[in-house]
Structure 1
C-alpha cells in the first residue's frame, strides 16, 4: 500500500469527486516511437520555431537564440538580443514567427528582463537577417508587471488568425494571490497587437476593471500554449503546485481559479484551498495528479502517426509523473483520453510539429532536440 502525506491525501480525495475533468481514461495505441537526435549541441533549449524553408530557430535559457540551417545539425548563435536576467527559471524563453514571416522575417521572443529586485517577462521582435546570423532592429513591445522572484515566467507565445499575439505570464510563485486580480499581469494570458498596442476588443481594454492587455487570469505558470486556427480556439497547459497541472481552453475574460481552486496541494503537503471548483471559475479539460510539469503544446495536423491526427501533445518535464510525451486524445473539442509516450526517456520542455509533419521535442536540460519517428 502507498501512503501519502495528509495534505496530499486530502487533495487526491477532492480530485476524486471533482468536475467533468476527473477520471480521464488512459488510452493506448499500437503506434511505437523512437527519438532521433537532430540537434545535439543545445544547452537548456526552451522554445522552437521552424522557418518556412525548414530551417530551425530555438532559444536557450542562457544562450540566447540559435539557428540551425536545414533544421538539423550544428546550431549557430544569432546576435542582437538584449541581455536577459537568467537566475532561477529566468532567461530567454518563448519564440514565435510573425504570420507574415515569409515577407517581413520578423521573430518574436519572450525573455526575462530586469534584476533580482525587479524583473518580468518582456517581449521583443526583430528581423532575422537573410543569413540567419543576427536579429536586426530589435524593438521591445511589452514588459510585464515587475516582481522580485526568479520563478514562474510563463512566456509561451502564439499568434492568432487575426494577427494578434497571445503570451502567457506566470504569477511569480510567491505572488499567487495576485493571479486573481485582472489589473495585474501576474498569472495571466495577455493579448496584444504586433506592435504592442491593445486590441479594442480585449475584455479589459478600457482599463476600468483590469489591465487592458489581459485576456484571461487566475493562472499559475503556463508553459504550454497553442492556437488552433481551424476552430479559433486557444489551448493552454499550466503547472499546478504538487499535483493539479491543467489543460485548458482559454476564453475571453475568464478566471481560471488559481489559487482559489486547485486539484493540487502545496509542496510541503499543506492544503492551499479545499475548493476544486467555484462559480465563475473555469474547469480544466483534464488535469494531472500527481504532476508532470507540462511544457510545450501542439496539435498534430499531419498523418505521420496513424490515428493521431487532431490530437494534442504536451511534454512532461518534471514531477513524480513527468519525463514523457503525453498524447491528449481529442474528440469534438473534448478530451477522450490520455496516452503516455516515451516514458522515462527525457524531461521534455517543448514540442512542436515540423514542416515534414513529424513532432519535434526539446529536452529540459542539455540533451538536445529530437525528431519523434515511428519505430520499426
Structure 2
C-alpha cells in the first residue's frame, strides 16, 4: 500500500457559481483530517470505466482490452468477457464507459460505450447485453445509441448514468474538430444524450419532436464530458468535462440547457489562441466549479457511505493531466452547492475513473498501465 500525505493541498483557481450568473470568488480550499492509503485490487492496462456487481465482483473496461471481470475476493487476474463488439482504438478511442442496468439483479443487463468505426468515419456507440451467470460473456448484444459520425479519434465523452425513472444519460464529446457543432442541438456532437434503456426516445426530451434538435439530445454546448453521476436522492445530474487549456468544468445538467462551448469558455486553445473572449453569455449556463489550470477531469461519483469521516455527501472527481492533474478532487458540497474542494493524492496517479463499491469504499482506476485501487482510510 502507498501511504498518502496529510491534507490540505493547494487549491486551484475555481469558482462557485449558479447557472447563468457570473462566477463568484475562487472556491476555498477545504481541509479534512481524513487520510487514505491505496490498496491494489487488480492489475489493469488503461482501465476506463468500472461497475460493481451486487456481490462485490467488478466489471471494467480497458481502452484497448475490452470488457473484463474480476471476481470478488479473488487473487487471480481479471478475465475477458466475450461478446462485446469490436472497437476502434486509435488516439482516445476504445472501450469506454460502463453501467449496469437499474434492474440488473433480474435482467443482468450491462451497458457499454465504445468507439465504433474507422479512422475516417467513427462514432460513440452504446450497446447492451446480458451477462451470463458465470460472467464469461455478454449475450444478445444490441445497439442502444450511436452518435453522429466524425473523422477524428478524440473527444468521445462516453460516460453512462441511469436516472430514477430508468432513462439512460450518455455523454458525447464534440470530436474536437466539430467543436462549433456543440452549439447545434440537431447534432450529437458535444451533447448529453437521454434515451430509454432500449434506445427509444423519451416523450419528454426537449427536442423529442425532432424539429429544433435531435430527439435524443438532453443538453448541449459541451466539449468532452468524461464524468457523470446521477444523485438518486435529489434527482441531480452532475457532469465534469474537459476544457481546452484551462476551463475544465463541473456542471449540473438540466433539460434543454446550453452549457456554452465554444461560445463561452474559461480556457484557451493549446496553441495559446483565444477560442472566445467571453466567459458568460445570456442563455448559457455557468459551471458550478471550473479549473484553471486544467486537471483533465474524468470519472465522477458521490460518497454515500460513512467509511471516510467528514466526506459523506461529497463528490469525487479524477484528474488525469495538465499542470495540476494527477489528482483525486474531493468537491465539498453543502445543500447541493459547492463550498470548497480538496486535492487528494496530488502528483501520484492519473485517475481515469472513481466509483463507490457496494462495501462503501471508493475505488479508482488509473489512466495508464497501473490498475484499480481501493482507498483505505487511515487510523
- Place the TM-score, normalised by the shorter chain, in its bin: over 0.9
Q: Once the two structures are superposed, what CA deviation does each residue of 1:164-189 show, in whole Å capped at 9, x if it has no partner?
A: 00000000011100000000000000
Paired with 1:71 and 1:368, the residues of 2 have a C-alpha distance of 16
Give the aligned partner of residue 49 of structure 1: 51
Q: Is residue 165 from structure 1 mapped to residue 159 from structure 2 by the alignment?
A: no
Q: What residue ranges of structure 2 are gaps of 5+ in the alignment?
A: 1-12
Q: Is residue 254 from structure 1 mapped to residue 296 from structure 2 by the alignment?
A: no
Give the aligned partner of residue 190 of structure 2: 187
Paired with 1:195 and 1:203, the residues of 2 have a C-alpha distance of 19
Give the aligned partner of residue 100 of structure 2: 97
Give the alignment partner of residue 136 of structure 2, picking from 130, 133, 137: 133
Paired with 2:22 and 2:328, the residues of 1 have a C-alpha distance of 25
Give the aligned partner of residue 154 of structure 1: 157
- Root mean square deviation, CA, Å: 1.4
Q: Is residue 352 from structure 1 mapped to residue 338 from structure 2 by the alignment?
A: no
Local SS of the residue matching 2:127: strand
CA contact (8 A) 1:166 1:191 kept: yes
1:22 offset after TM fit, Å? 4.2
Alignment of 1:150-299 (within 5 A): 150-299=153-302
Give the aligned partner of residue 67 of structure 2: 65
Local SS of the residue matching 2:72: helix
CA spacing shift, 1:367–1:193, aligned 2, 3 Å: same
Local SS of the residue matching 1:70: coil
CA spacing shift, 1:104–1:21, aligned 2, 3 Å: farther
Q: Is residue 107 from structure 1 mapped to residue 110 from structure 2 by the alignment?
A: yes
Q: What residue ranges of structure 1 are gaps of 5+ in the alignment?
A: 1-11
Local SS of the residue matching 2:136: coil
Q: Which runs of 4+ in 1 moved over 2 A?
A: 18-22
Q: Once the two structures are superposed, what CA deviation does each residue of 1:270-312 show, in whole Å capped at 9, x if it has no partner?
A: 1111100000000000000000000000000000010110000
Paired with 1:86 and 1:208, the residues of 2 have a C-alpha distance of 34
CA spacing shift, 1:21–1:39, aligned 2, 3 Å: farther
Local SS of the residue matching 2:259: coil
What TM-score do you get using the length of structure 1 for normalisation? 0.94
Give the aligned partner of residue 333 of structure 1: 336
Give the aligned partner of residue 320 of structure 1: 323
Local SS of the residue matching 1:315: strand
Paired with 1:366 and 1:341, the residues of 2 have a C-alpha distance of 20
1:72 offset after TM fit, Å? 5.2
Local SS of the residue matching 1:241: coil
1:345 offset after TM fit, Å? 1.2
1:324 offset after TM fit, Å? 0.8
**Alignment coverage as a number of residue pairs:** 361
Local SS of the residue matching 1:212: coil
Give the aligned partner of residue 7 of structure 1: none
CA spacing shift, 1:53–1:287, aligned 2, 3 Å: same
Q: Once the two structures are superposed, what CA deviation does each residue of 1:204-242 show, in whole Å capped at 9, x if it has no partner?
A: 000000000000000000000000010011000000000
Paired with 1:326 and 1:76, the residues of 2 have a C-alpha distance of 30
Paired with 2:158 and 2:24, the residues of 1 have a C-alpha distance of 26
CA contact (8 A) 1:98 1:108 kept: yes
1:143 offset after TM fit, Å? 0.6
Paired with 2:355 and 2:235, the residues of 1 have a C-alpha distance of 18
CA contact (8 A) 1:248 1:284 kept: yes
Local SS of the residue matching 1:177: helix
Give the aligned partner of residue 3 of structure 1: none
What TM-score do you get using the length of structure 2 for normalisation? 0.94
1:21 offset after TM fit, Å? 4.9
CA contact (8 A) 1:21 1:287 kept: no
